[in-house]
Amino acid sequence: MDLVNYLYLASILFALGATTVLLRRNAIVVFMGVELMLNATNLALVTFARLHGDITGQVLAFFVMVVAAAEVVVGLAIIVTIFRARRSASVDDVNLLKS
């Protein structure tokens, strides 16, 4: 076994996160799917850092974490605002522009 297995794991986690975003309707769970995708990317970055003996990959993973934290703050604030206005956290209910 070599490091490629880590990349396989990262791919599977990323695909599962993407499927969550496509399938679930609760906005918060959809958000968790996005987080899962970011985490899978981090795992790939850390593995690449080890593969190439270059620590820059870990620095990039660090940046991803910081940006993810900022993204969570804004995203959850938006969800809370929508919930206040519409009393629902479902992504299907936010279809005012549709008709």
Strand partners, 90: 26
State the Cα–Cα distance between residues 52 and 84, nearest whole angstrom.
49
User: Does 86 help bind another protein (rule: CB under 8 A)?
Assistant: no
| Least distance CB 21 / another protein (angstroms) | 9
State the Cα–Cα distance between residues 36 and 33, nearest whole angstrom.
5
Specify the DSSP element, H or E, that contains 62: helix 56-86
User: Does 18 help bind another protein (rule: CB under 8 A)?
Assistant: yes
Q: Please report, as residue ranges, which positions from 46 to 85 form the binding site for another protein (by CB under 8 A).
A: 46-47, 49-56, 58-59, 61-63, 65-74, 76-81, 83-84
Site size toward another protein, by CB under 8 A: 71
